[in-house]
Amino acid sequence: MKKNTKTVLGLACVAGALSTGRVPAEPAAASAERPNILFCIADDASMSTFGAYGGTMVQTPAFDRLAEGGVLFRNAYNCNPKCSPARACLVTGRYSWQLEEACNHWPRFPEKFSFYPHLLKDAGFHVGYTGKGWAPGVCAGENPAGKAYNDIKLKPPYSGIRNIDYAANFAAFLNQNPDGRPFCFWLGTSEPHRAYEKGSWKKAGLRLADAVVPPFFPDNETIRGDLLDYAVEVTWFDRHVGRAIGELEQRGLLENTLIIVTSDHGMPFPRIKGQLYEEGFHVPMVAYWHGVIQPGRVVEDFVSFPDVAPTFMQAVGLEPHQQMTGKSFLDLLRSPQSGWIDPARDHVLLGKERHDIGRENAEGKDLAYPVRAIRTKDFLYAHNMKPDRWPAGNPELGLKNCDNSPTKSYLTALKPGDPEYHFYAWSFGLRPEEELYQIRKDPHCMVNLADNPEYHESMARLKAQMEAELVDQNDPRMLGQGDLFDHYPYLGKGGNKRK
């Protein structure tokens, strides 16, 4: 497991920044009309890793058990494939481009937006978190270092490793609820975020042959070992999900708890995390609710992170907050059907602005890499609005929108003329203004069809639909005001913390 010393960031902002002075409603026990909520989120875990989706690198028994007893979503998307903006969509129920500064990575979260845990606390819920909440960034008006409501003290790491005992913190949270109020808990691991203990796959008894190498990477021992080190970290996440389920079973709470498990985006590798290709924004998601969700269902309808908050609100009998523009999928949870259920859920919109620094202009200002995209049953269409900018950051400034890793080091060591140089270009090169991929035939987004006349009509139709919906959602990029995303301060290390 990890041996790094990086800290957990922004814990107080999701369910920890709750010392608001609000008076909760009269305590009320959980019931069929007002279930408990347990939300578990991995940090950088790809959908393809989990056994319920056919993953074979490691076993994920807890996630797979929930899928067997609940509903597995085959088309769940994060709206924006980076930690802060993806989690901002989750907690607010809004699309990324509707969140002002919070559309960026490492922002100051606008004070005007409410978080669903705060709303449930106001409604009388026992609310808490452990690990990584909304992060990284700064919540306006909150002190992340201050004592927060139900802020569970993090237990010491196990001997020799850094990892937090998330499940034990969940148990402590449940112990703090003697009145038996319905609860809302955010279990946010920092795994499988980098950095990793190199070679941990050997200790776990894995084999290089177990690694599944995407076609946009070279197939060698370095890449396979890096993928397996990542896979070991996924098992830590799954283990704590399993232990949290065990706590609910032991206390007789499982039967009336709505559980949703997901990840904020794909694994921390080049061309995946932070990038608008399928593995970066197509996330795992399973929901379990005994007696409400019929076991073993698989739903194909498209759902997106902005849909999660209004779903939680409706599940507990509350109206979604007026700020929430996502659409509740409570009907999908209650439906007895599998497959395609709601004909209107046939696509999702996706986007990104500035994730990390490293695209400076002549004045030294850090610039966004704006993209808007639409994903349907058959196609992914992406509009790279500033194709002259580097999607993963300027190579001369360190490709800062890509986590450091053995895989990144291998690719960046390749030089023009090397037989494998195309792997570098696929991850770090400039991109055309428009990209179109036929996802069912090309799930890894390897063949861009944008210049193929056979697909021009389909591409034009997708672009028109995407832009019309974005105009309806007041996306600044559609209204000629998109450059404002470049002017919001970046508050991370090395960023310009100008006011």
Q: How confident is the model at residue 154 (pLDDT cuts 50, 70, 90)?
A: very low
pTM: 0.91
State CA 272 to chain mean position distance: 12
DSSP 11: G
Q: Where are the alpha helices (DSSP H) in 220-337?
A: 221-250, 278-281, 308-315, 330-334
Identify the residue whose tokens are 């986007």: 351
- Judge whether 1 lies within some domain: no
User: What whole-number distance in Å separates Cα of residue 350 and Cα of residue 462?
Assistant: 13
User: What whole-number distance in Å separates Cα of residue 239 and Cα of residue 245?
Assistant: 10
Q: Which of these three, 341, 361, 383, is where a domain ends?
A: 341
- Judge whether 463 lies within some domain: yes
Q: State whether 327 and 382 are in the same domain.
A: no
Q: Which domain holds residue 271?
A: 11-341
Q: How confident is the model at residue 139 (pLDDT cuts 50, 70, 90)?
A: confident
Write the CB contacts of 160 (distance below 8 Å, at least 6 apart in sequence).
Answer: 3
DSSP 476: G
Domain CATH code at residue 129 = 3.40.720.10
Write the CB contacts of 396 (distance below 8 Å, at least 6 apart in sequence).
Answer: none
What confidence score (pLDDT) does residue 141 get? 53
pLDDT in tens, 273-319: 999 999 999 999 999 999 999 999 999 999 999 999 999 999 999 99
User: What whole-number distance in Å separates Cα of residue 197 and Cα of residue 293?
Assistant: 39
Q: State whether 183 and 74 are in the same domain.
A: yes
Percent of the chain with pLDDT over 70: 87
Q: Which of these three, 341, 356, 383, is where a domain ends?
A: 341
Write the CB contacts of 469 (distance below 8 Å, at least 6 apart in sequence).
Answer: 349
- Judge whether 250 lies within some domain: yes
Q: State whether 112 and 236 are in the same domain.
A: yes
Q: Say how many C-beta atoms besides its own lie within 10 A of residue 453's C-beta.
A: 7
State CA 59 to chain mean position distance: 21
Q: Which of these three, 306, 341, 376, is where a domain ends?
A: 341
On average, the pLDDT of the chain sits at: 89
Q: How confident is the model at residue 386 (pLDDT cuts 50, 70, 90)?
A: very high
The identity of residue 46, as a single letter, is S
Q: State whether 448 and 313 are in the same domain.
A: no
Q: Where are the alpha helices (DSSP H) in 393-476?
A: 406-412, 421-428, 456-472
Q: Say how many C-beta atoms besides its own lie within 10 A of residue 207's C-beta.
A: 10
Q: Helix, strand, or coil here: 206? A: coil
φ, ψ (nearest 5 deg) of residue 384? -85, 105
237-240: Cβ within 8 A, 24+ apart: 237/40, 237/42, 237/45, 237/189, 237/191, 237/192, 238/59, 238/60, 238/61, 238/62, 238/63, 239/62, 239/167, 240/40, 240/165, 240/166, 240/167, 240/187, 240/189
